Amino acid sequence: MPEGIIVKALSGYYYVKSAGSAEEPVQCRARGIFKKRGVSPLVGDRVIYEVTENGEGTVDEVLPRSTELIRPPVANVEQAVLAFSVAEPALNLQLLDKFLVHTENAGLDTIICLTKSDLLDSEDESAEAASQETITMQDAKQLYEQIGYTVIITSTKTEDGISEVRSRLAGRISVFSGQSGVGKSSLLNALVPGLMLETNQISSKLGRGKHTTRHVELIELEGEGRGLVADTPGFSQLDFVQLEPEELSGCFAEMKRIASGCKFRGCLHQHEPGCQVIAAVESGTVAASRYKHYLVFLQEMKERKRRY
């Protein structure tokens, strides 16, 4: 039986593209055994499938996954591309840090794309987030590059940064995600000519975009190295169901590097004596905004545990 990859899941059907084939994906149903086992095939799964007489098919086996994301539901992703606009809507560092916690927890390489750079006035590049934090685009770039992330400033109107993003997608499965209305679909349209994903303008009343992406789908890039990218529904919030409070600092790359030096095992970096993270915040080695968001997320996790 042939091997392929699920490139789209919609209304109970799985669309499987044969490995190394240029043919259209085969529309498949999953065998009932998956439901009995409590397993659901995911977009990105490498599968064994069988083509039936009517030209459709059945997914018979899901091969072992290297990674698995729950929100968005994608398997075998190697890197995440987080799209965050610097204007309309304004750059939201707290939400960006929340996404980074999830990509770090999933073990993904992460690229941060600061979109809509053409909307900034050259004399005033400040972007004010919902939390009333203010930071310039260049300062944000420097902050996250110092931590170790790749940060690319993009504009689909001027095509700034588009070729750099495309080169980093070659030969890999990447997931695109980010806040609603930041230009993810526009960015993918620029990366894949002829794609024509639906885009929507920002609602002036709500200050955020409509969700234009309804399902997860892998899109094949053209050119050298190719690569597959997943366009995913935008999120206004993420939870921390899979994480324990003691694991949170391990999802802040700069804190993870120094937390082992804390005096107490299981240090939560709040007020414990001999805490290396607190010392690094005081010295400026760890950014105050990142530490502030760490404490916000920690409180969210503690409140969730009390509820359940």
Q: Residues 139-165: pLDDT tens digits?
A: 999 999 999 999 999 998 889 999 999
Contacts of 225 (CB under 8 A, 6+ apart): 167, 170, 171
Residue positions counted in the chain: 308
Give all strands (DSSP E) within 206-247, no chain letters.
208-209, 217-220, 228-231
Residue 177 has pLDDT above 80, yes or no: yes
Per-residue HEC secondary structure of 13-75 comes to: EEEEEECCCCCCCEEEEECHHHHHHCCCCCECCEEEEEECCCCCEEEEEECCCCCEECCCCEE
pTM for this structure?
0.82
Residue 101 has pLDDT above 90, yes or no: yes
Domains of the chain (ranges plus CATH)? 3-63 (2.40.50.140), 74-231 (3.40.50.300), 245-307 (1.10.40.50)
φ and ψ at 186, to 5 degrees? -65, -40
Confidence of residue 111 (pLDDT cuts 50, 70, 90): very high
* Binding site per annotation, positions for Zn(2+): 262, 267, 269, 275
Residue that has been written with the tokens 């055994």 in this structure: 33
* Binding site per annotation, positions: 115-118, 178-186, 262, 267, 269, 275
- Residues 93 and 135: their CA atoms lie apart, in Å, by 9
**Token digits of residue 133:** 């934090």
Cα dist. 228→135, 210, 219, 241 in Å? 33, 25, 5, 28
* DSSP H or E run through 81: strand 79-85
Amino acid letter for position 198: E
**Token digits of residue 275:** 């805490």
- Nearest CA to 280 out of 186, 160, 147, 162 is that of 147
* Binding site per annotation, positions for GTP: 115-118, 178-186
Highest mean pLDDT among 28-32, 148-152, 190-194: 148-152
Cα dist. 164→53, 151, 288 in Å? 45, 10, 30
What is the tens place of the pLDDT at every residue in 204-254?
333 344 444 457 788 888 766 678 988 665 444 467 777 889 999 999 999
Quote the pLDDT of residue 227.
Answer: 86
- Residues 166 and 221: their CA atoms lie apart, in Å, by 9
Mean pLDDT of 180-197: 77
